[in-house]
Amino acid sequence: MTMPDLMTVIDRTHWEAAQPGQDSGQADRREVFGRLASAELSASYQLATRIMGNRGDAEDAVNEAILRAWGSFEGLRDRNAFRPWLTRIVVNVCRNELRHRRVVRVDPIGEDDRPAADSFEGGLLRDGVARALDSLSPEQRVVVVLRYWNDLTVGDISRLLGVPAGTVKWRLHAANGRMKAYLGRSGWEVER
C-alpha cells in the first residue's frame, strides 16, 4: 500500500488555513511538523484503511487527522511522543467517522494487498474476516485492528485510547465473540 506525500494528502489551501498563529517560528514549526508527519503518513494510512475498510475513506480520515494534528501541534510538548499522539488522532477521527455512518464500505481485495502465492480459500477467508470486522461497533473495530493488525498490547491500546485495560479486554472479548459468530453463520469452522 502506498501513500502520496504529505502535501498531496493535504490541499495547500487547507494547510495554510489550518496553521496556528503567524510568528517568526512558524516556518520552523511547519518544517518540524512536516518531517514528523511525513514519517508517520504511511503507517497512519494503513491503520486508517484497516479501521475504515476502504482506501477512499482512509485518505479522508488521514487528511482530517493531519489537519487536526497541525492545528494543535503547538501544544505537543514532547516531539518524541509524536507517533502515539498522531496515532490517537487518526484512531479518533476514524472512530468518529464510523459512528456517523451506517454502512462500512469494504474495497475488494486488490492484487497489491495479497501475497503472491495466495490460495483462493485464503482470499475467501480474508474477505470473510473483513466482513466480520464490518459487523463490529467502531470501538470494537478499533481495538481489534490495533491488537491484531498493529500488534499493540492491551496496555498500549489502553494508553493510546485513554481507557482502562479492562475496557480494552472486554471490547476484544466481545469483538472476538461477534466475529466468531459471524464467521460461523457464514459457514466457516470456528473454534469456540
Same domain? 124 vs 64: no
Residue-number span of the structural domain to which 185 is assigned: 119-192
> pLDDT 10s per residue in the chain (192 long)?
344 455 555 545 444 554 555 555 666 788 889 899 999 999 999 999 989 988 889 999 999 999 999 889 988 888 889 999 999 999 999 999 988 875 545 555 444 444 444 554 455 556 677 788 888 999 999 999 999 888 999 999 999 999 999 999 999 999 999 988 888 787 766 665
Return the half-sphere exposure (C-beta side, CA atoms, 13 A cut-off) of residue 188: 20
CATH of the domain at 16: 1.10.1740.10
Q: For position 191, what pLDDT does the model report?
A: 64
| 51, amino acid identity | I
CATH of the domain at 169: 1.10.10.10
Is 112 part of any domain?
A: no
Same domain? 128 vs 180: yes
Same domain? 100 vs 5: yes
Count up the domains in the chain and report the number. 2
Same domain? 69 vs 164: no
